[in-house]
Structure 1
């Protein structure tokens, strides 16, 4: 099947099997490898991408379900410079191996776009579906708290 959607602001087309997951399409067919494949059961959050601004587990979504949608991966959150969240993760040493980082950042971006004043409790609640086995969660939460100032009620500045 042919699937067409917007990926990081660019129109893309891919030939996929009907059962191909969005993460496999993004990585294997379209060559964007920033989104990671972890558990393949929607439990770890490593594959989180934004679909029409909403954080979704791309291992649970079929590529054909993305037809005509706007998909943003970790690569699409920054231009020539790091995004505010990426810079905050770097500043707060909120990554170690980095495997989980794209999922945390896309999840946090969706949260802060909708709730720029999210407090620590809300951040922890939203991140509860993302797993990190190296860094621990304190620097991740601190980074997200720090990045809040770069978000406004109507989206990122």
Structure 2
């Protein structure tokens, strides 16, 4: 019985080619990985540092306006709404932020006696304007007639929309749109009451207008 080991089934030239191809694969892979690392390093270089730098401060403007008879001068971001100016800069939270899109009327105030949605009005456009909010309606302890009418007619439930409803009602009376309940409803339609107190709100406006 022969004790010689069987010869390799792979020829020497084939073994050399196999080893060479493995070395080539390792070398190619190492180069590729190095390239990726270099690219990643470049991404964190000066250009990335510039991108991470803090953005420039937004432009601001000085605005002087009268709110409920008091004169205020403030520096505000040019994107600041009248609603945010009243609530966050002047400490007048009576004007409510509802939809912040001009659809609910909770932020209604008077500018020069006219009704506006404070959330849609830029503060920088009001230099020299006269603004009246719910805080400015009463005369000391004497409520405005419409404020009293809302109490008399029980024209609110949760009360969130009430400041805007009252301000809109005051404007509605000044505009002389109180000829009938239907006319009041039409001209107050921009103010939404989630609690559904519309009938009592109309009655309150009628009372303040002297129709009841």
Regarding TM over 0.5, the answer is: yes
Counterparts of 1:96 and 1:66, CA distance in 2: 33
Counterparts of 1:62 and 1:44, CA distance in 2: 18
1:18 to 55, 78, 83: 78
Matched, 1:69 2:129: yes
Residues 1-157 of structure 1: matches in 2 within 5 Å? 1-80=61-140, 81-115=142-176, 117-149=178-210
Q: Is the 8 A contact 2:87 2:93 kept in 1?
A: yes
Deviates more, 1:61-70 or 1:112-121: 112-121
3-state SS of paired residue (1:149): coil
Q: TM-score, normalised by structure 2?
A: 0.68
Runs of 4 or more above 6 Å deviation = none
- Aligned-residue CA RMSD (Å): 1.3
- How far has the Cα of 1:114 moved from its partner? 2.4
Q: TM-score, normalised by structure 1?
A: 0.91
Q: Which has the larger radius of gyration?
A: 2
**Which gives a bigger RCO, structure 1 or 2 (Cα 8 Å, sep 6+)?**
1
Unaligned runs of 5+ in 1: 151-157
Unaligned runs of 5+ in 2: 1-60
Q: Is the 8 A contact 2:164 2:191 kept in 1?
A: yes
